[in-house]
Structure 1
């Protein structure tokens, strides 16, 4: 082994923010503690940064590994919220029909709250563990917890809980809380280490999250079409989730074997104590928060508000919008309308929006247009509220009675969520000093999850107000 210092990682040169160097140079003159070369944002150069000192990602193995882990990071949540018919079936067997009806009407809101609160707490914990436990330990332990909980959920599909509906409901919420906490530690840790890689890797991770929702919606529709029995449907459904979580464990264990990932993680050891191969970080300090917030607070607020608006109406409001042709009794109106319009279309649009960021990365990280576009999404909340949501106890007026309206609104919600949610997420770790890239990834994930938590609470108010 020679003692040549490893080369610092380059970044994807496909994005070069307009006039960013002129803007950042002024900021960096004011910040004596951060040099212009400290961040991971691409700089103007006569040669593309992507071709300097970096090995090729053979067969795109690293890209697809992060894409798969993106799928796994949100797969548990997606499977819990999409299996609506299964939960209603389990909860409808209660001897107290009034109680089961109340639980069924607001079940998505209960799930959102049970998911969001522990998610925020676990992401705070994850930030403190950045320099105490290696990403490998955090990622593998969270995946194992997710697999165990989903294994128990799969077994309970075949168990009769009609005499214990309240206990089953409570246990379900506890399972959602545990899985959400574990998946957020997993997601924050994976997004943190992706900050050391070129932007294409962060984009792969975020696109994979949207694909997870798409696969979940497809699995739900296929199981509805193939398995007529609700329990058989749910068994197939949750076994699919078990398989993907196991696949994530295997793919992550293979990640350090690729030359492309070894190159960037080796370079990261020069500036950060946490690496893929370390079992424990020698430096146990907490990453400084002030320089991260100073550089990335606007991007963090953009992420927060994007997901706050999305979770306010999806799935609690969007899944309650029924076809106006329900009385006709057609399978489209009675069986497939909600899975297709609320879940599949939203997730396909979300995936498309995230995928576009691989080629189009505008507005840039310092643009004032980005926060304006994020705020404009607020209009989607009343638009969905005044579709044919049922039951309606307070807002009796339906301004958009045709089935095409929720289709268009859900597509706009998903597309804008994917594009405007991805841009600040991939910008965040690039605008801070290199040694803070992983911690910034965790902070950006915290803003995302905080948006989901506040949006979940707000969704309850929206549903009750309708």
Structure 2
């Protein structure tokens, strides 16, 4: 089972690798397109594209298989990741570029958002047919992508410096690394994952239950114990119910997942209101200089990875109302960070690092729990559809949180 777990970690990293490449290259974009606020434009192009694509994916869910969506997503990523290096080679001269270069770059960002909407829900939906440890693997992979890019940024900042040549080399390295990850994901989705014994077993089990010809499945729980699945109630371990041949009704599944969906919206509303905007722009250190913000982003990403890995050890929050309460409790971070930034905008890096670490840990922990508890009690194709619905809820939270970041700027005035 280790091979299947590792595959879903890599696939989780792959769906966010292109996005991380674009947002990590903001220093390069600021140099090439001065005064154009490319950091905000990248977000404005990416997140609405993701949300709109997820809406279409949910509405026409039954038309395309999850494997086809993964291949389209990762194959498309591998093509669009060439955009920035090609634009750089064709248009950028002495850190200056014409407007058409910016338009092409933003078009690539928009396309990447569309492909994220195509691929991410498919990967999570595929993982949801398997025991909970595989949804946790996907979740940890998304966090690992952030850690990888943060480490790359530290490495390139130390090795290449902040000169124009250094920024250019760093940016090319971000996109080459992301290209390598998405290309590997395409290979895994096309040739490896469909043939893994664990995946084949649970897929066959799902088909048997959809036709009513299977026996009650047994599932490996998060801690590795073999448990008999129950009758599909909310707090049980069953993701598949026998005799479910009808197509999934997205409105019905949305109602079933309402607690988890609301929870995910709350999680990412809070997180995106604070991170990366406040961490990257609103706190400073006279001793650490611009290294301070780079290191804080790394601390957050490491915390996020740790939080998303915790349920593999601690087990999950099975009660969905309790999970919603955990998500709602994170709103306390908004006044805490506001007070901290107002009091210590230019000092106390230890306190700020601790706050950022806890923010990342809590974000990862509740996200991983939401992904793992959602498929329990669903029937047949509803399991696959749940992946798209969860990613859509996450994207709505990102959209609201991005708007919250602008409100933060108004509050500081």
Shorter-chain-normalised TM-score: which range? Answer: 0.7 to 0.9
* Structure 2 residue 293 is the aligned partner of structure 1 residue 338: yes
Q: Which residue does 1:294 correspond to in 2?
A: 255
Q: Determine whether 1:428 maps to 2:381.
A: no
Residues 165 and 272 of structure 1: is their aligned pair in 2 closer, same or farther, counting only changes over 3 Å?
farther
Residues 51-450 of structure 1 mapped to structure 2, 5 A cutoff = 57=1, 60-92=2-34, 100=35, 103-104=36-37, 107-158=38-89, 159-160=91-92, 164-228=97-161, 229-253=166-190, 254-270=192-208, 287-325=248-286, 333-341=288-296, 343-366=297-320, 368-388=321-341, 397-399=342-344, 401-450=347-396
Structure 1 Cα separation of the partners of residues 251 and 355 of structure 2: 38
Match of 1:454, SS state, is: helix
Render the CA deviation track for 1:333-374: whole Å, top value 9, x for unaligned: 234211111x211110000000001122343233x3322221
Contact 2:273 2:401 in 1 (8 A): yes
Shift of 1:297: 0.3
Residue 271 of structure 2 contacts residue 401 of structure 2 at CA under 8 Å; is this kept in 1?
Answer: yes
> Which consecutive unaligned segments of at least 5 residues does structure 2 have?
212-245
Q: Which residue of 1 aligns with 2:220?
A: none
Structure 2 CA distance, aligned partners of 1:61 and 1:435?
A: 25
8 Å CA contact retained: 1:428, 1:440: yes
Structure 1 stretches of 5 or more lacking a match? 1-56, 93-99, 274-284, 327-332, 389-396
TM-score, length of structure 1 as denominator length: 0.75
Quick one: distance in 2 between partners of 1:139 and 1:76? 14
**SS of equivalent residue, structure 2 residue 301:** helix
Shift of 1:386: 4.4
The equivalent of 2:218 in structure 1 is none
Render the CA deviation track for 1:418-458: whole Å, top value 9, x for unaligned: 00111112111113224411111211111111111121122
Of residues 169-178 and 260-269 in structure 1, the stretch that sits farther from structure 2 once superposed is 169-178
Residue 191 of structure 1 deviates from its aligned partner by 0.5
Q: Is contact 2:11–2:141 with CA below 8 Å preserved after alignment? A: yes
**Pair 1:272–1:226, CA change in 2 (3 A):** farther
> What is the distance in 1 between the residues matched to 2:293 and 2:311?
28
Offset at 1:183?
A: 1.5
Compute the displacement of 1:408 (Å): 1.5
**Bigger shift: residues 211-220 or 81-90:** 81-90
> Secondary structure of the residue that 1:429 maps to in structure 2?
coil
Q: For 1:85, what is the secondary structure of its paired residue?
A: helix
Question: What's the Cα RMSD here?
Answer: 2.2
Bigger radius of gyration, 1 or 2? 1
Structure with a larger share of its residues in helix? 2
**Cα distance in 2 between the residues matched to 1:432 and 1:198:** 13
Q: Secondary structure at the match of 1:324?
A: coil
Question: What is the alpha-carbon distance in structure 1 between the residues aligned to residue 295 and residue 96 of structure 2?
Answer: 33
Distance, in Å, in 2 between the alignment partners of 1:378 and 1:77 is 26
